[in-house]
Each structure stands twice: as C-alpha cells, then as structure tokens.
Copies of this chain bind each other. A is one copy, B any other.
Amino acid sequence: TRNIDLAVVAGDGIGPEVVEQGLAVLDAALAGSDVKVSTTEFDLGARRWHETGETLTDDDLARIREHDAILLGAIGDPSVPSGVLERGLLLKLRFALDHYVNLRPGTLYPGVTSPLADPGEVDFVVVREGTEGPYVGNGGSVRTGTPHEIATEVSVNTAFGVERVVRDAFARAQARPRKHLTLVHKHNVLVHAGHLWRRTVEAVGAEFPEVTTDYLHVDAATIFLTTNPSRFDVIVTDNLFGDIITDQAAAITGGIGLAASGNINPDRTAPSMFEPVHGSAPDIAGQGKADPTATVLSVSLLLEHLGLTEQARRVEAAVAADLAERGDRVRSTAEVGRELAARVAG
C-alpha cells in the first residue's frame, strides 16, 4: 500500500464546504485501491488571524512541508485587511513551496453554457508563472497618506525563473495533440521583462521543434479569449497576466465555480497545492450553495500530479458526466459532492 499524506487547508468562507466534498470524491476515487490518504487539517485563514495575529508561521510551514500535497479551499474574508491573508498566507505558500507552475485548465465541458454566443471547442491550459513578476512583494511607499506619496510595485523576472516555467509549458504543449504554445506578455511596453520572456521562449523552443509558438500581447489575448478561444492550446505567461486571463478563461468556460488549479512544484522539492480558482465567497458561505466542482477538478489535478493518472481521469470523467446532465437542477454543495462521488465509485 501507498500512503498519501495530504495537508488540508480548508480556509475561509465556502472553503470548508467545498473541501469536504473534494475529500469525499478523493476517497471515492481511491476506494478499493492500495492507496490510502491520511489528512492533516491546518487551521489557517481569517479565524486564526483574528485569534492569534498569525497568518502562516514557520512551524506551520515546516509541518506542511512534510506532506505529499496540499488541498486548499479558499482564503480571505472582508474582516481582514486586504493583502494580509493573500500575501501572508496564500502567496507565502506558493512562494515558499516554490510553486512555479500555476496550472489552470480552460475547458468548456459539453453541457456547460458559455456566456459567449459561439465559443467553439475550448480546451486550453494556462501555465502561469507562480513565484515571480509583480507578485514578489517588492513594492513600497514613501510619504504614505500625504499628497506627496509615491507607491511603487516592482516586477522581478529572472532567467532562472522564466526558463523553468517556459520549459514546463513546452513539455505540456509537446504532450498535447495540437502542440501549440502561446506566450502572453506585453513586451512592447514592459520591454525588459517582456524581452526576457520572449528570448527564453525562443531559446527553449529550439529544444521542442514539434511545438509551434506564437505571441500575443495580454490586451490582445483578452480579445481572442472573447472572439476565438479555440485558438489556444497552451498559454505561458507571467504571474499577473496569468491571474487576469485565467479569471477571464473561467468566465467563458462556465464560471469560477468550475475552474480548477494546481500550484505545482515540478521539481518536487516541496508539496504542490491544489485549489479552486474561486475565492471564499463570504456572501454564500455556510449555506450549502457553493459548487464544489472546481475543488473536485482540482482533486483530479492532484491525483494526476501524484501519478494516479487513472484515478485522475475517473474524477474528471465524473465531473464531465455530471456537467453534461446537470441542466439547471439546483443542488446543494453536499448533493453535488455525493453525486460526483457516486459516479467516481461507478
């Protein structure tokens, strides 16, 4: 038997509700196999911060590191000043655990209604850089709160950091039928960072002669995501542009209730973390209204990352089947989870 030690960060708002269903589906996927999951819950998020002032201690981080993977629900609450939990907990996990590949599939499943009139077949994946760019926190302000305030944000991009994520994206493109990679940046304005990305795609591309590439400025990318999302196969982009276009990608493929993500450390020097793209949605928390599908699809990415490919496929197939048949049935979080688990158990 193989044992998987899973760190669970249910977090705030709807986080615990969707994670509960994600774990139920995970159990269903592994039932009868020789893979066992043991979970450790980490009490992190708004409640903990209010009680202790802590976001993520060194000890928390050390204990999380001992796990094989992390399942995260959602972080954030309006009662906590903006940035505190994002920077102190969510981004701290992504940075400390070197999650340099933030993987976000954009798939329009059959049966799902897109807000686009004519979306066509949408099946791409965004490889968002996860540890650099404007997310590094190298900003500051002087004369804060005065008419002479200056606030800066520094985007830091390294050859090391860009190359490793670009190589990962090429490898993913190589493994897909269309073998196409689109770099999204803004190199006509952000010339230094942009040219580093561009040169890197060119250089690494030489190692992947079968992969075709093109380039879009981020503004143009939002146009094509609206008018012709089928054109995308693999997109590689920086941390901030990836944040923006993956929310748009979620919107055109049925909403953030369905959008999964993996914060992946491909070198496996630390556990990878799987989380729905959506936030904590405090307005509907505790009401059993949240759709756990994004979390369940994140569990599929988790299984794949752990090499449990067959189980990953079964979870994704269960979601696909559910989406194909759900129509506008209103179901609770638990009902969706139960039905998905039943489909996975088959």
Spell out A's residues near B (CB within 8 Å).
76, 82-83, 86-87, 91, 114-118, 134-135, 137, 139-141, 143, 145-160, 163, 186-196, 198-199, 218-220, 222-223, 225-227, 240, 243-248, 250-252, 255-256
The docked-state distance in angstroms from the alpha carbon of A82 to that of B216 is 12
Are B86 and A192 in contact, with the CB atoms below 8 A? no
Chain B positions within 8 Å of A91 at CB level: 189
Taken together, the copies of this chain in the complex come to 2
Chain B positions within 8 Å of A251 at CB level: 222-223, 226-227
A192 contact from B115, B118, B146, B153, Cβ within 8 A: B153
The docked-state distance in angstroms from the alpha carbon of A134 to that of B91 is 21
The docked-state distance in angstroms from the alpha carbon of A214 to that of B292 is 28
Chain B positions within 8 Å of A186 at CB level: 240, 243
Are A244 and B218 in contact, with the CB atoms below 8 A? yes
Kindly name the residue among A140, A151, A186 whose own CB sees the greatest number of chain B CB atoms within 10 A: A151
The docked-state distance in angstroms from the alpha carbon of A141 to that of B117 is 44
The docked-state distance in angstroms from the alpha carbon of A160 to that of B160 is 37
CB distance from A190 to the nearest CB of B (A): 5
Chain B positions within 8 Å of A82 at CB level: 187-188, 191, 194-195, 198
Are A149 and B218 in contact, with the CB atoms below 8 A? no
The docked-state distance in angstroms from the alpha carbon of A141 to that of B140 is 20
Are B256 and A141 in contact, with the CB atoms below 8 A? no
Are B219 and A153 in contact, with the CB atoms below 8 A? no
Name A83's closest neighbour in chain B (CB-CB): B191
Are A159 and B153 in contact, with the CB atoms below 8 A? no
Are B227 and A248 in contact, with the CB atoms below 8 A? no
Are A192 and B256 in contact, with the CB atoms below 8 A? no
Name A116's closest neighbour in chain B (CB-CB): B115
Are B115 and A226 in contact, with the CB atoms below 8 A? yes
Chain B positions within 8 Å of A243 at CB level: 186, 189, 218-219
Question: Given A117-B115, A226-B248, A155–B134 Cβ distance below 8 Å?
Answer: yes
Are A192 and B151 in contact, with the CB atoms below 8 A? yes
The docked-state distance in angstroms from the alpha carbon of A227 to that of B141 is 35
Chain B positions within 8 Å of A192 at CB level: 139-141, 151-153
